Structure 1
Amino acid sequence: MRRRFTVASAMVGALALITLAGCTTDPNVAAPSDDAAATEEAVEWFDQELFDKQDAEREVVPEGPEGEPWLQHINAEMIDTAEFASEGAKKACFANASISNPWRQTGWITMNQQLEVLQEAGVISEMETRDAQDSDDTQIADIDYFITEGDCDIFLISPNSTAAMTPAVERACDTGKPVVVFDRGVQTDCPVTFIHPIGGFAWGIDTAEFLIDELEEGDKVVALRILPGVDVLEQRWAAAEKLFDEAGIDAVDYFTGADPAEIKKIISDELAKGDVQGIWMDAGDGAVAAIEAFEDAGADYPVMTGEDEMSFLRKWKDTGLTGLAPVYSNFQWRTPLLAAQKIFAGEEIPKEWVLPQSPITAEEVDQYLEANDGMPDGHYAKFGGEDLPGYPQVWQDRIIP
């Protein structure tokens, strides 16, 4: 049964640069249908302009309050929200793609703890949430339900997919109520703001450059990908593949569905063919399984990129392998509610709210392991909720509202 919660307490190079975000660890979007897969095959995911934009944004010092990256922004065009200024606590309606994987669960917990703060401050009266469970059709119905219900003061939307959700988001915009899109994007600029980390190309550049620096020309890299057709994931690989090709790295890629058994089989088969010097992943799910495949084969550990999921950080530390943990800033789940606060106060906010996105390096692993001691393996180190009520117990106990 689909869960319904009431919490009281450019497409590549396309329109408006509202590309998908948040899949970093969010690869459990429903697999595309045969028709959809056929359509995706025709998509050219590499976009030089967007690649260059995100490459440059990696070097930008974000603006905003120090120590609060969820309120920082990069190269923002600030817009006026005075038309939405209004007093009193407001009802937020949240159409969520899913909480079907650890990245989304970590964000969902953080979002609800941020909600608690804003409820106590009299900013938000309640947040009614509908969980689409990774279904486009369900999320379209959820958004239309909110529109028909008619008592939403603001729409918060984390789209399940980009193109399919665009008309529903536009219908929400047509109500005249503010719309905030985050994590993944849509092909319209009608939302008041679109909130996301730098993006998939930045992830791909960070990870590929790291592997290239650590490896030699001709070395073998196995790329473990979650699934096709999700643009932020496709952009990660498009960027990495370009750089591997230019550097003479022998890279082969496989879709795994984040299945540990499939990951182990892929690695075992590749090791049977010869040495594998590097592992590249477009999300951290299954990173430990990949490392265990090398252990099972008695092979030297690879140079590897995973993610800031605690299971990978712990395995990285235990093995001493050469690694990097790219990050798709999980703290972004706080930002939509804080954006709502600013919108109803009539404050300026970024039209495209690009949040900082920086990997965890070998020099920082101990710091993040210590800071997240006691957190479960599915927790994300850069979740950014340390100042929220319930820390650390709510995240340790994995209390899913």
Structure 2
Amino acid sequence: MRIRTSRRPWRAASAATIAALAVLATGCGSGDNAAGDKASSGGGSGDKPFIALSNGFIGNGWRQTMIAKFEAAATQAQKDGLISKYKVVNAPGENSATEQVAQIKSLLLQKPDALLIDPSSPTALKPVIQQACDAGVKVVVFDSAIDAPCAHVLQNSFVDWATYAAKPLLEGIGGKGNVIVSRGVVGSQPEAEMFDTTKKILGGYPDVKTAATVTGMCDGATAQKAVLGVLSSVPKVDGVIGCGDGYGVAQAFATAGKPVPAVTFETNGRALNYWKDNKIDNGSVAVMSDPGQSVAALWEALDLLDGKDVPKQLTFPIVLVEQKDRDAWAAALKPDEYAAWPWTRDLFRQQVEAVKTGGEPVQPPIPTAAG
């Protein structure tokens, strides 16, 4: 089944998305700190660019996958002579903008040619980003909107995320029954946009009743507690629409001794294998933003340094895993590894052209082995 939010769902992010407080997108949640910096060793030509990446925090599997994918691509780019070196710096705090600003200032003293940023705040980094731009550094912000006009932005669409979390699931339950809606970070603009999208979609299914609405924070453990708290007071549940918290939701139903309904799973190996091993065949899907954005941001930085015309705002595809592709993804992912599109430089450029022309989005291949 192929669900479209519009004729060309990836063409561009909405104005509201670009201006949003990107709490949801900045790493798909928060987690315990596991800070660490990594720089590549020597090698490569001195006239090739030095690429730096500043990451607001590293404390969850999505962020760890994002960094791992970048490091693998950057290491290969160094071997291929495309860059001289790279450095990754992960802020040690809980997504602290103050710490990330200090981190970026330290990186700028090392004179990178391009700076990639997964930001902790859509506003607080504006002065230091402007400082980088004024120094001639190409800045690419990914995984979030940012209030910094000189930066290029590459992200996924919140509207598309919410749409693909709801429509395949609702179709899978036959367009009728009772659902619970598990909201994300309530109070953030992205969550408001996603929840508004969910309500609009539900409005097109008159035979579906919203039995309860909880706040799951796009986090399995939080959603498990929230859903478990309402199960005794709701009738039979056919589905739970979330934003990548289905593993925890499934645990809530199992704890309550109830059958697992259709849910919106995380896109990591643990959740996908749980879905597969328990033979859940009820309309469940898995959908989240793409940690491979970091690799796409690397290619964008190199093209900008080469003087190529790249739009200031790019919207790339989210990762949607339907049942037909579930086993292929599950076999390719480690338990805490999240599904990521394998953006090659050629695929990146194809997607840029699709954005420019309004063409169909690029569909990268599903990886065949864990990286």
Fold in common (TM above 0.5): yes
AA in 2 matched with 1:254: V
5+ residue gaps in structure 2? 1-11, 33-44, 346-366
The equivalences for 1:89-238 within 5 A come to: 89-132=48-91, 133=93, 134-147=95-108, 149=109, 151-191=111-151, 193-197=152-156, 199-215=157-173, 219-238=177-196
1:35-83: per-residue Cα shift (whole Å, max 9, x none)? Answer: xxxxxxxxxxxxxxxxxxxxxxxxxxxxxxxxxxxxxxxxxxxxxxxxx
Is 1:336–2:297 an aligned residue pair? yes
For 2:262 and 2:231, the matched residues in 1 are separated by: 14
**Residue in 2 that maps onto 1:380:** 338
AA in 1 matched with 2:248: A
- Which has the higher mean CA deviation after the structures are superposed, 125-134 or 176-185? 125-134
For 1:22 and 1:181, the matched residues in 2 are separated by: 15
For 1:259 and 1:327, the matched residues in 2 are separated by: 11
Aligned pair in 2 of structure 1 residues 306, 269: CA closer, same or farther (>3 Å)?
A: same
AA in 1 matched with 2:65: T
1:226-276: per-residue Cα shift (whole Å, max 9, x none)? Answer: 433444444322311332245343153323456656533333332211322
Aligned pair in 2 of structure 1 residues 314, 234: CA closer, same or farther (>3 Å)?
A: farther
Q: What SS does structure 2 have at the residue aligned with 1:250?
A: strand
Matched-pair contact (CA < 8 Å) for 2:268–2:338: yes
Query: Aligned Cα RMSD in Å?
Result: 3.4
**Residue in 1 that maps onto 2:360:** none
Q: What SS does structure 1 have at the residue aligned with 2:180?
A: strand
For 1:187 and 1:385, the matched residues in 2 are separated by: 26
- Give, in angstroms, the shift of residue 119 of structure 1: 1.3
The equivalences for 1:388-399 within 5 A come to: 395=371
- Give, in angstroms, the shift of residue 324 of structure 1: 0.9
For 1:386 and 1:195, the matched residues in 2 are separated by: 15
AA in 1 matched with 2:155: H
1:333-364: per-residue Cα shift (whole Å, max 9, x none)? Answer: 21122222222322333332222235111111
1:95-119: per-residue Cα shift (whole Å, max 9, x none)? Answer: 2111111011011011001111121
How many pairs align?
320
Normalised to the residue count of structure 1, the TM-score between the two structures is: 0.70
Aligned pair in 2 of structure 1 residues 94, 264: CA closer, same or farther (>3 Å)?
A: closer
Matched-pair contact (CA < 8 Å) for 2:247–2:271: yes
Normalised to the residue count of structure 2, the TM-score between the two structures is: 0.75
For 2:316 and 2:23, the matched residues in 1 are separated by: 11
5+ residue gaps in structure 1? 1-9, 31-85, 396-401
Matched-pair contact (CA < 8 Å) for 2:28–2:289: no
Q: What SS does structure 1 have at the residue aligned with 2:260?
A: coil
Matched-pair contact (CA < 8 Å) for 2:28–2:218: no
The equivalences for 1:267-306 within 5 A come to: 267-273=227-233, 274-284=235-245, 287-306=246-265
For 2:312 and 2:46, the matched residues in 1 are separated by: 23
Is 1:28–2:30 an aligned residue pair? yes
For 2:85 and 2:57, the matched residues in 1 are separated by: 19
Q: What SS does structure 2 have at the residue aligned with 1:164?
A: coil
Q: What SS does structure 2 have at the residue aligned with 1:325?
A: strand
- Which has the higher mean CA deviation after the structures are superposed, 239-248 or 118-127? 239-248
Give the fraction of aligned pairs with identical amino acids, expressed as a percent. 23
**Residue in 2 that maps onto 1:264:** 224
